């Protein structure tokens, strides 16, 4: 009877609104993508997808809510690189879930690179010259939007790859990084693409390189680190949908199909272009394998940085 009930629930799913937990505050990158895809997802599912923000502890508070939720498809997670790939290592002593055991990955929605930036009047605006300058000036400052996030850890990879000694100045947000560049407090920074593009378009910073394996459509003339000689520097930020572990495969498939439809929505396509977001739409199996590799990759970078969450 239990198996029949589960099959019937999956067949009728969804018959009420679906709650998407966003483990970050309103207005952030994960929240923007969640609200962008929620409406077309709801149309595809035939029920509204309602956003609920549950920020805290690097995204682990909201993620834990979904990890413990009933596996019926009515509570899903907008996870991202920080909460599902970096957190297992950065919050190793306190994280209240195991990503690969407590979640059923649905799909990777989008990915974005970080961007290495220099202030508008700084003379070194390519990777080779900038890293040569850093070698000659040990202790040179660089700005990041915080500690323990993808831009911060990616810069640790950059320092290791080029064997440079630089000092991090962490700010509370990407917007503050831009302000620091504009004020001349720092000459070098790394930022998430959505914030970096604001500084570039405002003329307060110049892009040096992006951290993806391929150039970003929003910055087609900006090389990758791979093109610039840093073949080990590939690190991206990403957003994806997760359901609680134990969610029936049929429901996971319906969620996947709904997100795939959402990524093709005209408004979603246009906004992704404006944000520099590269759509992915991977299958649940592909996404699970990707998340496993990302957990391993970011654990290496957390160890490289000697970073951990404050106790």
CB-hemisphere CA count at 13 Å for 116? 29
In degrees rounded to 5, what are phi and psi of residue 207? -80, 140
Dihedral sign of CA atoms 211, 216, 218, 219 in order: positive
How many angstroms separate the CA atoms of 253 and 274, rounded? 29
Inter-axis angle of helices 150-162 and 127-136, nearest 10: 70
CB-hemisphere CA count at 13 Å for 262? 32
Q: Is residue 14 reached through a cis peptide bond, with omega within 30 degrees of 0 on the bond before it? A: yes
Global pTM? Answer: 0.91
Please report, in tens digits, the pLDDT of each residue of the chain (311 residues total).
344 445 666 789 999 999 999 998 888 888 989 999 999 999 999 999 999 999 998 899 999 999 999 999 999 999 999 999 999 999 998 999 999 999 999 999 999 999 999 999 999 999 999 999 999 999 999 999 988 899 999 999 999 999 999 999 999 888 999 999 999 999 999 999 988 999 999 999 999 999 999 999 999 999 999 999 887 899 999 999 999 999 999 999 999 999 999 999 999 999 999 989 999 999 999 999 999 999 999 999 999 888 776 65
Q: What is the pLDDT of residue 2?
A: 45
Report how far apart, in Å, the C-alpha atoms of 127 and of each of 5, 130, 133, 151 are: 59, 5, 10, 16
How many angstroms separate the CA atoms of 248 and 236, rounded? 30
């Amino acid at each position: 009877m239990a198996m029949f009930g589960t099959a019937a629930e999956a067949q009728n799913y969804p018959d009420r609104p679906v709650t998407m937990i966003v483990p970050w505050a309103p207005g952030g990158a994960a929240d923007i993508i969640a609200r962008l895809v929620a409406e077309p997802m709801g149309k595809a599912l035939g029920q509204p997808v309602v956003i609920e923000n549950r920020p805290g502890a690097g995204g682990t508070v909201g993620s834990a809510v979904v990890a413990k939720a009933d596996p019926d498809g009515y509570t899903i997670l907008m996870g991202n690189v920080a909460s599902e790939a970096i957190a297992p290592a950065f919050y190793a002593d306190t994280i209240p879930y195991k990503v690969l055991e407590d979640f059923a990955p649905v799909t990777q929605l989008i990915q974005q690179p970080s961007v290495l930036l220099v202030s508008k009047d700084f003379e070194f605006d390519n990777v080779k010259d900038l890293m040569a300058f850093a070698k000659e000036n040990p202790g040179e400052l660089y700005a990041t939007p915080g500690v323990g996030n993808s831009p911060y850890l990616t810069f640790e990879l950059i320092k290791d790859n080029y064997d440079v000694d630089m000092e991090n100045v962490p700010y509370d947000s990407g917007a503050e990084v831009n302000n620091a560049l504009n004020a001349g407090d720092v000459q070098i920074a790394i930022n998430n693409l959505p914030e970096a593009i604001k500084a570039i378009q405002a003329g307060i910073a110049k892009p040096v390189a992006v951290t993806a394996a391929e150039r970003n459509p929003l910055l087609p003339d900006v090389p990758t680190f791979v093109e610039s000689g840093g073949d080990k520097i590939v690190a991206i930020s990403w957003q994806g949908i997760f359901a609680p572990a134990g969610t029936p495969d049929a429901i996971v498939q319906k969620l996947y199909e709904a997100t795939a439809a959402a990524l093709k929505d005209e408004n979603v396509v246009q906004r992704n272009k404006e944000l520099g977001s590269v759509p992915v739409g991977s299958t649940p199996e592909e996404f699970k394998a990707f998340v496993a590799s990302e957990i391993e990759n970011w654990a290496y970078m957390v160890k490289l940085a000697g970073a951990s969450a404050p106790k």
